[in-house]
Every structure is written in structure tokens, then in C-alpha cells.
Structure 1
Amino acid sequence: MGVDGLRDKISALMPRVRTDLAELVAYRSVADPRQFPPEECDSAANWVKDHFAEVGFGKLELVTTADGSKAVYGERPAAPGHDGARTVLLYAHYDVQPPLDASAWRTPPFELTEQDGRWYGRGAADCKGNILMHLTALRALGDDVPVNLKLIVEGSEEQGTGGLEAYVPERAGLLAADAILVCDTGNAAAGVPTVTTTLRGLANVVVTVSALRSEMHSGMFGGAAPDALAALVHMLASLRDAHGNTTITGLSADQGWQGTDYPADQFRTDANVLDGVQLLGDGTVAEMVWARPAVTILGIDCPPVVGSAAAIQPTARARLNLRVPPGMDATRAQDALVAHLQAVAPWGVHVDIERESHGEPFRASTGGPAYQALGDAMREAYGRDMTTAGQGGSIPLCNVFHDTFPDAEIILMGVEEPRTLMHAPNESVDPAEIAHMALAEALFLQRYAAT
């Protein structure tokens, strides 16, 4: 089937896409039993299993991974006449972030709602919209899929507990493929066909500063008694310079970016930056968010303003997130952050640093036939050339795929363009992105088989 026929079929399928996505979004599939019943994830997993059975997948099963979450696995052989066809593994996840502040949502978080041409709901983009992208591409192709397909849809990606990361090496023979479509990213902007080629890694720490054995009256002792909270503020301030560049001793900021630009005006809109507030750093936006280390203060333990007393704080604590660009080792970056904090601590205060999770950055190899086929498919689907972008977030599974299947081409794509506000209140998806990306995926499967 040609591009026009596929486009028409996908257009006719869009009412079903909305109905299916509404059903899937209604499952409160947060993979944390402290927040939502685990039956919500079980129901979402079974929904995925049943709907991929409808598009020709067999050997479907719910696989319990190391963290207790269930992944959906299945296989679909190439259509008759395609002996020796390549194998493509399709990836997505059905678990979602918690809705956070329900009062900040303009629509019910778990009820798909249309406003201004977008579909709102938790998981509408990340990553249930990508599940519908897969289904729509396969429904449009019908029986004529010229490659072997494998499917893995996990249920704990957002929690970062590593269930699938542990499963992949253990079942390498089951999941082996020539190309892996990791559909958990998106275009640089709606309507701009984009493949993500780099991911920043991460290195988190919790730093605790201690200066006194107990709180002390600020009137009687302030001025000479060391203040743990002030010491912590001093340490945290040393992590950025006056322009906002991350300045951790031992980490170089000289990481160039060769892909698509990220216009500053677009970034200001995407990031909800207030009028008059400057963007950070002395590099381009693309360099700052995709190619340089970036430290974020995730939280501070200290007395709240309401109810605070006139007392010097004996201890203070902060949690820090360091994003690590490709070309930089995450373990060494975490070492540098720890050493920096210890070195800048003032007044001889006691510093204890807990190392949390760390994950290595990722850079895709883009010279193979799968990337060539995807470029052709994106051009036909969108009417413009495909560009490349980075991703500030981390997907540890990509490194697991690369280490387990070093010859496989790993492609990151999807419907999660910046306006989706994934992980935030009022997450939404542009239905046109689902349609275009489903067309691109269908065309890719055809073009890849022909390369």
C-alpha cells in the first residue's frame, strides 16, 4: 500500500484512536501501590495484551519482571512471501507518572478530554499515546507487514525500579532484533519530524550538612554559631556561575551539539519561563539542555516559613540531580559532584553525602539501514526532512539494549513533543502527531524491509 492509501486509512482510524486512548488513560496505572491499587496496572497491561492480539500478535504473555511489574511480550511473523525478513522490536510503557496536584489540572487527570484540538489526560502522550501510535500503524498496514515484529511494553518505566532493565539481558534470545523502536520521545515541535539521537545520563546525591547538636536561639548565639542552612546555601550557590552555567570542579562544559537548533523563543514557551526572566548559560539552548552537564536542586529539608522559629538550624539537607551529557561518564560525574561539595563546605561543617541512582548517557549510531529507512518514512509522512534532537531526560533501558544487542539499531521516536507537558499537570497530546507518527512508523516498516 502506498503513502496516500496509508494516510487515508489512518485518518479513518482516528475516531478509534480517541476511543482507545480514552480507555487506556482511564486506567490509573501508576506503578506505586502506595498511591494507586496495583490492579490498575494489571488492567492496563491486559488492555495492551488484548489489543495487540487484535493486530496479529501471538505468543502474548504478561511477564513479571524483577521489580514485580508486568511487561507485555508478543511476536508477529512477517507476512507470507517475506522469508528472511528483518526483525523489529517495538517498545513502549503503559505506566504513568502520578497526577501530582489534582487542583492544577484543568481537566480530570484520568479522563481523556479534548480542548483546543489537543487531548488531555495523564499518559495521553507519555506513553499511552505511543502505544496507540503502534496500534494505528499496524491497523493501517493490515495483513501486509513485511518484517518480523516483537513487542515489549513495560509497566514500571516511570518509577525507575529497573524491572525491564534486568529482564532484557536475561531473555536476550527472546528479544533480539535488527532494529529497536524505543517509542518514548517525540518531535522537536509538532509537525517537525525528529529522531532523538542522544540522551543525558543522571547522577543523584543527597547532601546533609551538620553544624550544631541542636537548634540554638538566633538572638543569643547568631553571629558566631555556624548555621547549617547557610552553609548548605553557600555550597549550592557554588554549583552555578553568574550566567547559570553548571560549575562543578572537574566537569567540562565543552560539549558541542551538531543536531537541530532549539530556538530560544520556542524554549521559553515550552519551559513556561516568566516574562523578563533570563535563560541560563552561555551556550545555545540545544547545548545547554542536550550537550552540557546540568545540576538541579530537587528538594531541601529546612523549616518552612510558616511556623519557623528564631533559631539557628543545626542540620540541613538537599537532594541534587546532575544530568550527564554523552561523552561524560556518569560515575565519574557523580564523583566530581561529591568532591566539589566536600571541598566548598565552609566553616568546617560536617558533610555527609549519600549517592543515589546514576545512569550513563546514550548516543545512537545513525549510519545504518534502519535510520535510512526512517528518514525516508518521516519525509513522506511530514513532507519535510527528518532532523535530530537530544533529550535532556534519561532512558537507562537504551544502554541495556545497546549492551545486550550491540549490532541492533536503536531508534528513539514518538508523539511526546514539548507541548505535551509530560510529567506535569495538564499533560496532553496532539492527535495530529499520533496520525503522522503512525504513518511514519507504517512507512518505516515497509521501507526497512526493502533496504
Structure 2
Amino acid sequence: MSLDIRARVQHLLPGIRRDLEDLVRIESVSADPTRAGEVRRSAEAVAALLRAEGFDTVDVVSARDDGRAPAVIAHKAGPAGAPTVLLYAHHDVQPENDRAEWDSPPFEPTERDGRLYARGAADDKAGIAAHLGAVRVFGDDLPVSVILFVEGEEEVGSDTLPELLRVHRDRLQADVIVIADSANWDIGVPALTTSLRGLVRADVEVRTLTHAVHSGMWGGLVPDALIALSRLIASFHDDAGDVAVEGLHRGPAADVEYPEERLRAESGANPGVEWIGTGSAVERLWTKPSLSVTGLDAPAVDGASNTLVPSARAKVSLRIAPGDTAANAVACLRRHCEQHVPWGAELGFTVVDTGEATAIEATGPAYDAARAAFTDAWDGTAPVDMGVGGSIPFIAEFLETFPDASVLVTGVEDPDTRAHGANEGLHLAEFERVVLAEALLLRNLAQR
């Protein structure tokens, strides 16, 4: 049967790729209000594919009054008594940013050296195509009942996902949930994602003056806000580079080797740059907090006047470890800023957004079925249980809404996918294995 499924995937793959390329050409950038029509067109295109695939019901839904951020919910029945599997992906994509940085047009899929390059080619329209391909393998003889749920605002925070899950809870109820929005460990090495860090973003502002003043007349007595903010930022880490904010959770990570040369290549770190923090590389990336400054509001160097800066602001991005909560992290970061802002400066602290960390207990029949399917699809290479340093906050929503379901986090990406960046690319040979693995998973779930 495995050989039959493998041959079927190989036969169907050209058509699956054509469907993926058609989806990629739609500029469904959810962060761009001027392309709201493209996001709607993307949802309708997904719905059309599912109707053509013979799904029993297909609906485009939205939790917004204006109909924006459309999602697609579709059902296809399997045998009576078979388990129900929900397959999740999202059809919205990140902005392409500076098109000059792309080696080919960002919304025209282009193959080079075994990769398909385009915005959304991997994240996450390939997830949609993988689900579609796995269902297509079985035609009208699905071994399980399938729900396909394709979201339309994941790239802007999934704000209405909780409402969608609440309103359509009965339609989305499943025994197993497969979320195809993560990555594999390496080319040729599959993975199940079992932990993800959460996120707290905050704007931190420091004010020392009511207005700018002459640096010669007042410097040496009155602190400028940029120096004060710099000292506050410096307090975020100790001398080893570990996050120095007290009260944040830290935990152990899986015993996975992340070779130095691979870390250098994949991170883009300069040869002379030293790693920060203590513990294993995967602990620092997966199960310990990290804190970064991702933006600054301060006078530009070019054209700066010779005055003391009255206020300065930084956007702080705190990744929180599995086992922590966003509420605790916000409280800890706020308290740290209040205690470390220097020289009596006025502090402003505004939470921008938060997302919960996720830890999945990846045991039981569904996970056994997945590991067997992945091992088969990758010709005997068993999947790695990996963590992810980034955040997919909506996974916590699924875990909370459907506590009895087994949630499997899979994906089509690899270490060189460059999701969210220029030249995002899908490794085509790995994509074939992903489609095969999901088809084998559906079969295995029916058998178990």
C-alpha cells in the first residue's frame, strides 16, 4: 500500500504543483489594505480547488463585519466510524518588501536548482497544496473524514481566529488536527514541532526633558533620553548574553545537535560574531527566553542637531519559553523596566501584542501514526521532535478549543526556505515527501 501511495503521489505531483503556482500568483498580502481584494480572491481560489476535489461542503467565512480576512472551511466524509482529521494552513502571505532584493519576481513562481521561488511558495500556500495533494491521492475513497481549514490572516496575528473557532466549533471538531505551518529539521530529515516560544512585543519610551536643549549648555548635568534608553536596553542582558529579566521561565531542550557550521550558515552570523547566552544551542533557541530590540525612534544621524534628545523609544521583542505565560512575561518585563530606567527618567511602557508559548505532549496513537508515516516517506529516516524559536500563537487556540484532539505541527519549510524574506523558496523534493507523508498519515490514522 505504501508503494501504491508513493506512485500515486508521483503521478499527481505535476498537477499539485500547478495548483500551488496558481495560488502563489495571487498577491494575498493580508498586511496591505490595498490588497484586500487579492486576499479575498485567494480564499475563493482555494474554495474552488476544494469544490473541484469533491468536498461535500465548502464555505468562505469571515469573523469581520466587512468580510476581510476570509477563511475557507470544507468537509469531505470518509467511512462511517472513521476518525476525523482537520488539516490547517493559511492562504495569506507576508509583504514582498523591496522587490529589488528578489532574484525573480516575488509573485511569479520560478524554479532554480530544485527550488520554487516566490512569496508564499512555502509559507504557507505549500501547506494548502500538501493538504490538497494528500486528499487527492485517495479520490473518493478517503480513509478518514477530512476538514480543511484555511485561514486568511495568520501573517497579521490571527486576531479573529478565536472567534472563528468559537462560531464554527462544531464544524471544526476533529480527533486529530494537522497544522502545516512549521518546518523540517533539515533536507532529508523530517520533524514534528513539539514546542514553540511565545511572544511579547512592547514599546518602551524614555523621556528626560520636556523639549530639546543645547547640548553644550546643558550636557553634563541633564541626561539625554537616548543615553538613558541605551542604559535601560543594556540592562536586558547579563555579561554572558543571557536575558536578565527576573521571573521568566527557562527549561531544558531536546538532545539535538546543531553543528556550529550549520548555525553559522543558517543564521547569517558574521564569522567573528560570538554567540550570546549559556546552555546548548537548541536551549537558547527553543526553551530559554530571548530579548531583542527591533526598532528605535530617535533622531537620524544625518542632519541631527547638536541638542539633547528629550525622548527616545524602542520596540522590544521578548520571546518566552514554553511553560511561561504572556501575562507573566509582560509583568516581568514591565517591572524590569521600572526598576532599571536610570536617573529618574519618565518611563512609558505599551504592550503591542502577545502570543502564548506552546508545549505539546507528542505521545499517543496519532503521534505514532505520524512518526511511522514520516519515517516511511523519508525512506527510513525518523522524524526529529524539534522546537521552534519563533511563535505560532494560534496553536494555543487550537489546544484550548479542542483539548481532546491530538495536535500535530508539521510543515513544508527547511532551514533555507527564507520565509518572510526575499527569495522565499520551496525545496521541491522535500515537498513531494511532505505530500507523501501526509497521505500515509491519513492511511495510518484510519488503521489505528
TM over 0.5: yes
Matches within 5 A, 1:407-426: 407-426=404-423
- Residues 1:70 and 1:336: Cα distance change in structure 2 (over 3 Å): same
Task: Give the secondary structure class of the aligned counterpart of 2:182.
Answer: coil
2:117 aligns with 120
Match of 1:448, as an amino acid?
A: L
1:354 aligns with 350
Matches within 5 A, 1:280-319: 280-319=276-315
TM-score under structure 2 normalisation? Answer: 0.96
1:73 aligns with 73
Matches within 5 A, 1:17-416: 17-34=16-33, 36-66=34-64, 68-78=68-78, 82-253=79-250, 255-258=251-254, 260-383=256-379, 384-416=381-413
Q: Is the 1:66–1:167 contact (alpha carbons within 8 Å) kept by the matching residues of 2?
A: no
Distance in 1 (CA, whole Å) between partners of 2:83 and 2:5 is 21
Shift of 1:84: 0.5
Q: Is the 1:61–1:72 contact (alpha carbons within 8 Å) kept by the matching residues of 2?
A: yes
Distance in 1 (CA, whole Å) between partners of 2:102 and 2:213 is 42
Q: Is the 2:254–2:282 contact (alpha carbons within 8 Å) kept by the matching residues of 1?
A: no
Match of 2:208, as an amino acid?
A: A
- 1:371-405 residue CA offsets vs partner (Å, 9 max, x unmatched): 01001101110021111101112222211111111
- Residues 1:265 and 1:109: Cα distance change in structure 2 (over 3 Å): same
Q: Is the 2:249–2:320 contact (alpha carbons within 8 Å) kept by the matching residues of 1?
A: no
Q: Which has the larger displacement, 6-15 or 418-427?
A: 6-15
Q: Which has the larger displacement, 359-368 or 39-48?
A: 359-368
Aligned residues: 445
Distance in 2 (CA, whole Å) between partners of 1:259 and 1:137 is 32
Match of 1:9, as an amino acid?
A: R
Distance in 2 (CA, whole Å) between partners of 1:342 and 1:102 is 41
Distance in 2 (CA, whole Å) between partners of 1:159 and 1:180 is 22
Q: Is the 1:215–1:314 contact (alpha carbons within 8 Å) kept by the matching residues of 2?
A: yes
Distance in 1 (CA, whole Å) between partners of 2:404 and 2:258 is 31
- 1:412-450 residue CA offsets vs partner (Å, 9 max, x unmatched): 001012211101111111011210010000000001111
Match of 2:320, as an amino acid?
A: V
Task: Give the secondary structure class of the aligned counterpart of 2:282.
Answer: helix
Q: Is the 2:192–2:383 contact (alpha carbons within 8 Å) kept by the matching residues of 1?
A: yes
Q: Is the 2:96–2:422 contact (alpha carbons within 8 Å) kept by the matching residues of 1?
A: yes
Distance in 2 (CA, whole Å) between partners of 1:257 and 1:408 is 24
Distance in 1 (CA, whole Å) between partners of 2:142 and 2:164 is 27
Q: Which runs of 5+ in 2 are unaligned?
A: none
- 1:30-67 residue CA offsets vs partner (Å, 9 max, x unmatched): 11343x42111111111111111222212101001237
Shift of 1:240: 1.3
TM-score under structure 1 normalisation? Answer: 0.96
- 1:248-287 residue CA offsets vs partner (Å, 9 max, x unmatched): 122254x100253333322221111122212222121210
Q: Is the 2:254–2:386 contact (alpha carbons within 8 Å) kept by the matching residues of 1?
A: no
Q: Which runs of 5+ in 1 are unaligned?
A: none
Distance in 1 (CA, whole Å) between partners of 2:167 and 2:46 is 23
Shift of 1:343: 0.6
Distance in 2 (CA, whole Å) between partners of 1:92 and 1:196 is 15
Distance in 2 (CA, whole Å) between partners of 1:169 and 1:191 is 38
Match of 1:15, as an amino acid?
A: P
Q: Which has the larger displacement, 417-426 or 258-267?
A: 258-267
- Residues 1:91 and 1:252: Cα distance change in structure 2 (over 3 Å): closer
Distance in 1 (CA, whole Å) between partners of 2:238 and 2:43 is 47
2:2 aligns with 3
Distance in 2 (CA, whole Å) between partners of 1:103 and 1:217 is 41
Q: Is the 1:217–1:310 contact (alpha carbons within 8 Å) kept by the matching residues of 2?
A: yes
Shift of 1:3: 1.6
Percentage of matched positions with identical amino acids: 39
Task: Give the secondary structure class of the aligned counterpart of 1:418.
Answer: coil
Q: Which has the larger displacement, 14-23 or 283-292?
A: 14-23
Shift of 1:223: 1.5
Distance in 2 (CA, whole Å) between partners of 1:107 and 1:431 is 17
Q: Is the 2:17–2:129 contact (alpha carbons within 8 Å) kept by the matching residues of 1?
A: no
Shift of 1:143: 2.6
Shift of 1:323: 0.7
Match of 2:241, as an amino acid?
A: G
Shift of 1:368: 1.7
Structure 1 residue runs of 4 or more that deviate by more than 6 Å after TM superposition:
none
Q: Is the 2:293–2:315 contact (alpha carbons within 8 Å) kept by the matching residues of 1?
A: yes
- 1:298-325 residue CA offsets vs partner (Å, 9 max, x unmatched): 1110011111111110000011111111
Distance in 2 (CA, whole Å) between partners of 1:366 and 1:382 is 20
Q: Is the 2:201–2:352 contact (alpha carbons within 8 Å) kept by the matching residues of 1?
A: yes
- 1:136-171 residue CA offsets vs partner (Å, 9 max, x unmatched): 222222232110111110100001141222210232
Q: Is the 1:32–1:159 contact (alpha carbons within 8 Å) kept by the matching residues of 2?
A: yes
